[in-house]
């Protein structure tokens, strides 16, 4: 996934905010930009549930919420995903609160209310772009009982290691970067062969499918007439 490709559809943002009026106002403003789809959670516990049910590109979190507060929510998210951008927004301007956001809550940014909307949008898009790059370069990712190392082109499952060639690893990287989303055959062909090519991507896909045959949860699906999708339950994904 690259930022240029994602401009064709909005980024998915989890927004945790217990003040309903503030949540509605921010949701409307961000969605009117055309860059985002905002999913609002009224408290930290609901946000955590939604996070584990959906794929988000960024988390926008108010600091002070009942039940599970913002920094604790961010800490839980950061435990399972070291890449996703976390941005805190709050009226709390205390230095101690800001430091806690970074040290405990895994913040990428902390923005005081009232929010400068154009600046917030710019920061959100920049952070998402950076996360996309990090996800595809030198990051190990685990799902179910598999661990994939893009640096060594290898997949480890229990005590078994699958070795990929460069084309296979390139295709798998793309599927991982757009996990649970469809990647077109044309995109994968250009990535694998460095240009539009009449050769089929199917042999590469079949090799990757064979690597995940022992899993009941990790599957590469064929989207007929379109492309392929690496499907993994959200709560099984871990980045290192």
Determine the Cα–Cα distance for residues 171 and 189; give it in Å rounded to an integer: 9
Residues 6 or more apart whose CB falls under 8 angstroms from that of 14 comprise 39, 41, 47, 50, 51, 54, 56, 58, 59, 60
- Contact between 204 and 166 under an 8 Å Cβ cutoff? The reply is no
Q: What is the pLDDT of residue 9?
A: 64
In the chain, what are the helix, strand and coil shares in percent, each to the nearest 5? Answer: 40, 25, 35
CA pseudo-torsion sign 209, 7, 235, 136: positive
pTM of the predicted model over 0.85? no
Q: What is the CATH number of domain 141-239?
A: 1.10.10.10
State the 10-residue block means of pLDDT for the chain, 240 residues long: 45 94 95 94 95 88 93 91 90 93 94 94 90 65 89 89 89 89 91 76 95 93 94 84
Q: What is the CATH number of domain 3-136?
A: 3.40.50.2300
Q: In what order do the strands lie in the sheet with 227-231?
A: 183-184, 227-231, 219-223
What residue ranges do the domains of the chain occupy?
3-136, 141-239
Q: DSSP letter at 197? A: -
Of the candidates 28, 35, 32, which has an alpha carbon nearest to the alpha carbon of residue 8?
Answer: 35
Determine the Cα–Cα distance for residues 79 and 169; give it in Å rounded to an integer: 26
Q: What is the pLDDT of residue 56?
A: 86
Q: What is the pLDDT of residue 7?
A: 35
End-to-end CA, the chain: 19
């Amino acid at each position: 996934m690259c930022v240029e490709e994602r401009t064709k559809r909005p980024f998915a943002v989890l927004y945790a905010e217990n003040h309903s009026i503030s949540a509605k106002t921010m949701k409307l403003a961000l969605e009117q930009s055309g860059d985002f789809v905002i999913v609002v959670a009224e408290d930290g516990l609901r946000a955590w549930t939604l996070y584990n049910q959906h794929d988000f590109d960024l988390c926008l979190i108010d600091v002070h919420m009942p039940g599970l507060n913002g920094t604790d929510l961010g800490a839980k998210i950061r435990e399972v995903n070291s890449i996703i951008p976390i941005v805190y927004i709050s009226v709390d301007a205390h230095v101690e609160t800001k430091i806690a956001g970074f040290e405990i809550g895994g913040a990428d940014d902390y923005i005081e209310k009232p929010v400068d909307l154009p600046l917030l949008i710019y920061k959100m898009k920049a952070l998402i772009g950076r996360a996309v790059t990090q996800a595809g370069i030198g990051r190990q990712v685990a799902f179910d009982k598999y661990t994939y190392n893009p640096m060594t082109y290898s997949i480890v499952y229990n005590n078994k290691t699958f070795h990929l060639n460069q084309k296979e690893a390139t295709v798998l990287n793309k599927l991982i970067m757009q996990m649970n989303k469809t990647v077109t055959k044309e995109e994968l062909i250009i990535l694998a062969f460095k240009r539009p090519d009449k050769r089929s991507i199917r042999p590469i896909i079949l090799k990757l499918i064979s690597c995940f045959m022992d899993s009941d949860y990790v599957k590469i699906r064929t989207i007929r007439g379109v492309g392929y999708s690496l499907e993994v339950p959200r709560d099984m994904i871990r980045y290192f």
